[in-house]
Amino acid sequence: MKHVVVIGSSNTDLVAKTKKAPVGGETVLGDGFLMTQGGKGANQAVAAARAGAKVVFVAKLGKDVFGDKALSGFKKEKIVTKYITRDKTAPSGIGLIVTDENAENSIVVASGANYKLFPSDIKKAKKEIKDAACVVLQLETPEKTVAYSVNLAYKYNVPVILNPAPARKISKEILKKIFLLNPNEKEAEFLSGVKITDLKSVRKAAAKLKAKGVKNVIITLGKRGVFAAGSGFEMMVPAFKVKAIDTTAAGDAFTGGFAFAFANKKDFYECITFGMATAALTVTKRGAQASLPNKSQIAKFLSRQK
């Protein structure tokens, strides 16, 4: 199996659990606190690695205790860390997360060194990119870095999986080079301009994104499941039923799980169900990387669904 290259962000998440998330000017009391490793790029890298993929992670950390802890964690996961660099001036990224009693979360990210990840850092990993099964990207790094990464992978005919989060405008020039765009519901609405309320509107949003040049679109819809559209196919895959405790990193778990299955040459439906199983297990635990399941846990979960 070829390796997966993940290019993106790494954060330390500071998570507070409360019955009700505060609104502007309001202070609420929390009933739990957790410090865990996060960041969309790091979450996706760890999810893919735990699922069984060989993962090369390209990222930038600060020279601080948060960066030390993150790097140590990646090495424990057997992720290739050769292309993770340290910035002398910017701190490591931080995510401030509030999770309410309905397992919904609100997140503020202080990007720090993530926004010092430049095309010159990506260029150093070009051989790894050239030989990869796929390149996985998100939008928590500079726009020019994402564009460079997409163009480099496209040059080598390597499929790009882009998780467009946090949502921002993406040029048609970049979108037409994307093998798979996998937004969540809100990101799909932002990128397509279509308000998603039902299957018809999901289909319309996916069609608009495909019209921009994207080859395949997967829209994750939380507990409703996943809608996928590609060349000559459409499918709505219902979500697995689990008791959600914390939805943090659910989308990243899906992306990482999908990337592993894709690198393992599974068909599109199998990739989706593997990603969904990875995400389903993730929401049953608190935290980001702390909640990501391993290969045997995913296999057992899938075997119980048959």
Residues classed as catalytic: 252
CA torsion sign, 255 to 257 to 260 to 264?
A: negative
Three-class DSSP category at 258? helix
Residue type, 56: V
In whole angstroms, what is the distance from residue 228 CA to residue 206 CA?
Answer: 8
Q: Where would I find the H helices in the chain?
A: 40-51, 65-76, 119-123, 126-130, 143-155, 172-175, 185-192, 199-211, 250-263, 268-282, 295-304
DSSP-based three-state secondary structure for 270: helix
Phi, psi (degrees; rounded to nearest 5) at 190: -60, -45
End-to-end Cα distance, the chain: 26
Three-state DSSP state, 233: strand
Beta bridge partners of 80: 56
The token duo for 288 is 């980001």
Cα-trace Rg, the chain: 18
What does the alpha-carbon distance between residue 233 and residue 98 come to, in Å, rounded to a whole number? 38
